[in-house]
Amino acid sequence: MTDGRCTLCGETYTKQGMTRHLRSCTQDHVDAGDRPTFHLSIGDAYRTDYWMHVEIEQETTLAALDEFLRDIWLECCGHMSSFTIDDVEYVKPYTEEESMLGFGVERRDMDISLGELLEGGLEFTHEYDFGTTTELSLRVADLGYGDTGDEGLQDHGYGAIRVLARNEPPEIKCETCGAPATSVCTEHLYRQESEAWLCEDCTAAHECDDHLFLPVVNSPRVGVCGYTG
Same domain, 119 and 27: yes
CA separation, residue 28 to residues 8, 53, 148, 160, 170 (Å): 9, 17, 14, 20, 29
Burial 152-164 (b: 16+ CB within 10 A, else e): ebbebebbbbbbb
Q: State the total domains in the chain.
A: 2
- Give the pLDDT score at 153: 45
- Give the pLDDT score at 104: 65
The CATH number of the domain holding residue 118 is 3.10.290.30
Same domain, 114 and 189: no
**Biggest alpha carbon distance in the chain?**
58
Decide: helix, strand or coil at residue 91: strand
- Give the pLDDT score at 158: 44
pLDDT tens per residue across span 83-126: 999 989 999 987 766 555 556 678 899 999 999 999 999 999 99
- Give the pLDDT score at 100: 55
Same domain, 22 and 80: yes
Same domain, 158 and 184: no
CB 61, CB 158: distance < 8 Å: yes
Same domain, 161 and 191: no
Listed residues 122, 151, 167: the one ending a domain: 167
- Give the pLDDT score at 1: 72
Listed residues 131, 151, 167: the one ending a domain: 167
**Parent domain of 225:** 171-229
Same domain, 143 and 58: yes
pLDDT tens per residue across span 53-74: 999 999 999 999 999 999 999 9
Which residues of the chain fall short of a pLDDT of 70? 31-33, 96-104, 147-159
Same domain, 99 and 55: yes
Same domain, 106 and 185: no
Same domain, 71 and 119: yes
Same domain, 175 and 224: yes
pTM surpassing 0.85?
yes
Listed residues 123, 138, 167: the one ending a domain: 167
Same domain, 129 and 175: no
- Three-state SS string over 192-213 comes to CCCCCEECHHHHHHCCCCHHHE
CA contacts within 13 A on the Cβ side of 112: 15
DSSP one-letter code for 110: S
